[in-house]
Chain A
Amino acid sequence: MIAPFAGKRVLDLSALAAQQPHGLAIAMAAKLAAQFGATVVRPVPERGDSLALLPPILPDGSSALARFLLAGRTAGDGRGRFDAAIGDTGALVGIDAALTVRISVFGPGEDPPMSELGLLALSGILSAVHPEGGVPHRLAGHQAAYATGLAAFTALAAGLRAEMSDRAEISLFDTACWVNWKEVATVLLLGSAAVARDKMQRADWHTMRATDGHVALVYMAKDWPALRDLLGDPRLHDPRFATQRARGEHMAELDALMAPWFARRSRAEITAATQRKRVPVGPVLTPLELLDDRQHRSRGFLDTQGVPRLPVLWDGEALTCVMAEMDHVT
């Protein structure tokens, strides 16, 4: 049985977190610890468990988020000795654990009020999802918190394996900035002018309408000749579209020329045609479509209730699922 952390007792303090982003990040880290074999205890305060009430709400009135994020815990009140505890500053006070994993907004100091939208704004991720002429948009779901949960689990796993008596620090803001490193690295490595030039001259990726939805139009400079020839419009040979920089400068015109080709075809037709040319275009799939996605189905990624297994196969096998128990639900 694959259970790297079997025998390790981990305290999940997500229900006691003062703010929702912290709670979600703690719960993600604890979920991974449970799925990798640790015994994870999740005490719930008398005031209730706000995470267990978060949308989406299922027809039976329960939370789909709780089903995904909070299953697989062992009941308990947090007393006793733990190998590790994950929480925010306040929740970790008085906890008896060799390793404490602290989730914060900015690291040192007191946490200011913060939301996931705020983290995406402050870290620059919002500005990356900013269509020309439109409003910056958040990444769907709970990406800011869940990414921090992934980072927290990695620190937790390393500390557990090394049997550390220590405190690991994970900042929601730093994790979001770590994810969004490329633009700020460009500023620091090549200068602000390079970023400004990049923005003006970059043929950035976006989605295009098809007959039955959208596809993501993703291509590098090397892919352009194949894409251009596939679309077959002689106007695409115009010098205004000859280089990636020129295409970026004339993106609206380029899109207007390309759009009809996409709009006449289905996502499957577009994907098949572009993939034959090794251009990395793909269909925009909804959660409902993913339930019957042939790649996910082939790899046994989702169960019949849409619950995903861990996104790793271990010598070709899925880790034993621990999602069946819902003993946390208040």
Chain B
Amino acid sequence: MSRSGGPLAGVRVVDLGWLTAGAASSTMLLDLGADVVKVEGPGALDPFRDWTGAEAGTDWWNHSPFFNFTNRGKRSLCLDLKDPRGLAALFRVLEGADVLVENYRRGVLAGFGLAPAMLRQRFPRLVIASISSQGEDGPERDMVSFGSTLEATGGLASLTGPADGDPAVTGRNINYPDQVVCLFATGAIVAALAQRDRTGSGAHLDLSQRELTSFLLGEELIAAAAGVPTPRLGNATAAEPDEVVVPDGDGWRAVWASGSAMVRDGITLATAAEFVAGTAILHAPDGQPAKGTPFGFGTWPAGIAHGAATLGADNRAVLLEAGLTGSDIDDMERAGIVATQPRRARSE
């Protein structure tokens, strides 16, 4: 399937995003027409490469179902950023880039010699999107959190769950803040590109998942500040106190004033007609299921042109585009700075 164009046609993205929050934001930019180069290192793979379904004893790093699902369509550059020559090569790539997306633990980017302040100075037109749990600063900047931790610290858990029981989180299957941050971060990045169109200046976007989680409860925060109680209401809401979830055969049914719907799990969802017809999950050209996109345009419908590239598949092409010579690349390959496989075995 050939696919070129889209509202972000011509925009070049360097993706240092891992797992969902960073990598899926870059995927959404790709779905809007950007060219995305995912940069990993032989000693610093996206952890999704070493995940359920990646079989040991093979080139497992190229066969992780969840990595390939999320990162379909991106080009792959495998470069050791801890080596000065690798870092210098990344700088060359960034000279031609419009956007850098990263969601490393705070401090790691700076540890690579890529502190946002330095990048802003060196690449004034670059939009740098830093997606983190707590934000770039603050007394809890380094608090270790997964998505569901942020549901707790961002206020969502306190209002979710039974009115007379314990608060609840979405857990590993959703990790809600990791998902919604992609939707917001992509919009913010596009806004920053629009601002750059006006001013010529890029930006450093400091995106806190905890803040986004609280933001999406904005009315509750305003109510609390005015002294209005904000109780946990179970499946009811203050506006719809009669909404309930009730047993229905072997499962459950959600009931509201004008209708009802079965509570699906992933298995029933996978075969539901409207899900199959929708765009939440699409298929790569090889038929493999792949992350979809929640929007499409009349002239640019949701679709996937390419599956996932193998690790480092685009090393030479990307580095040549950045102005390195074939000889430079050969040297770095021999030194293991440019690679197509990781330095470690699969974790047990």
Contacts and interface: CB of A to CB of B under 8 A. Distances in A.
Partners in one complex: yes
Contacts of A155: 295, 297
B226 A306 contact: yes
A137 B161 contact: yes
Interface in A248-271: none
Interface in B140-177: 140-141, 143-146, 148-162, 165-174, 176
Nearest to B52: A190
A191 to B, nearest CB: 10
B224 interface: yes
Given A108-B277, A189-B66, A283-B153, 19 more contacts: A56-B228, A115-B240, A134-B162, A138-B235, A138-B245, A140-B156, A143-B176, A147-B179, A150-B187, A151-B295, A154-B190, A177-B269, A179-B176, A184-B270, A207-B152, A216-B148, A216-B149, A306-B223, A306-B225
B203 interface: yes
Interface in B246-269: 252-254, 256-269
A202 interface: yes
A214 interface: yes
Q: How extensive is the interface on chain A, given as a class?
A: 35 or more
Closest 10 CB pairs of A and B: A306-B225, A183-B266, A140-B159, A177-B280, A56-B223, A55-B238, A216-B152, A68-B218, A121-B254, A154-B187
A187 B266 contact: yes
Interface residues of B, number: 136
Given A306-B222, A312-B206, A170 B172 contact: no
A287 B220 contact: yes
A281 B149 CA distance: 6
Given A177-B269, A282-B143, A315-B120, A141 B216 contact: yes
A4, A159, A278, A312: which has the most chain B beta carbons within 10 Å?
Answer: A312
B30 interface: no
A75 B270 CA distance: 44
Contacts, number: 477
A166 B295 CA distance: 13
Nearest to A154: B187
A184 B226 CA distance: 41
B327 to A, nearest CB: 39
Given A188-B289, A216-B157, A286-B230, A64 B7 contact: no
Interface of A is mostly: mixed
Contacts of B171: 128-129, 204-206
A141 B203 contact: no
28 contacts: A4-B191, A4-B194, A56-B230, A58-B228, A64-B226, A118-B254, A121-B261, A124-B268, A137-B162, A150-B184, A157-B190, A161-B190, A161-B197, A166-B297, A169-B296, A183-B173, A185-B69, A185-B281, A195-B267, A216-B157, A278-B144, A286-B159, A287-B220, A291-B221, A295-B153, A299-B211, A306-B223, A312-B207
Interface stretch (B131-139, B317-325, B337-345): B131-139
A167 B298 CA distance: 5
Contact of B210 (A5, A205, A295, A313): A295
Contacts of B298: 166-169
Contacts of A183: 173, 265-266, 269
